[in-house]
């Protein structure tokens, strides 16, 4: 019974830390780039877009499709970096807890 109470206390503590981590991830920014840095997209680690930067050399009429593709690629790069940041925070938070491998906790 003591082990169960101790585990419940640890889970409550983890829940409080997860709430703090959500706030931190909402304020953590990651930037993805494409086209050798000609296009960059900045997102929060939760995936909210904060900004797009485009090198002025990309504003040629015949490069519109390339520019569109680069924005999508930069967004994907930033999104992947944000997911990595969230996974790292979760690993830190759950270190030492008896959580089965592969189990994802909700954000």
List pLDDT tens digits, range 59-83.
Answer: 877 777 888 888 889 999 998 998 8
Mean pLDDT across 86-91:
83
The per-residue pLDDT of the chain, averaged, comes to 81
Q: In the chain, which ranges are continuous DSSP H helix?
A: 2-27, 64-94
**CATH among 3.40.50.10490, 3.60.9.10, 3.30.1310.10, 3.30.360.10 for 2-94:** 3.30.1310.10
Rounded distance, CA 51 to CA 78, Å?
Answer: 11
Token pair 């925070």: residue: 89
Mean pLDDT across 28-54:
89
Could you give the C-alpha distances from 96 to 42, 46, 92, in angstroms and in order? Answer: 33, 25, 9
**Given this model, what pLDDT does residue 99 score?**
63
List pLDDT tens digits, range 93-105.
Answer: 777 666 666 666 5
Between residues 28 and 90, which one has the greater pLDDT? Answer: 28
């Amino acid at each position: 019974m003591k082990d169960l109470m101790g585990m419940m206390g640890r889970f409550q503590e983890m829940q409080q830390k997860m709430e703090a981590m959500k706030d931190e991830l909402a304020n953590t920014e990651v930037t993805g780039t494409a086209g050798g840095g000609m296009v960059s997209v900045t997102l929060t680690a939760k995936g909210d877009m904060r900004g797009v930067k485009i090198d002025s050399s990309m504003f040629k009429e015949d490069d519109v499709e390339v520019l569109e593709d680069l924005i999508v690629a930069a967004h994907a790069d930033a999104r992947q970096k944000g997911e990595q940041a969230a996974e790292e925070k979760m690993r830190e938070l759950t270190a030492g807890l008896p959580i089965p491998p592969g189990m994802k906790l909700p954000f």
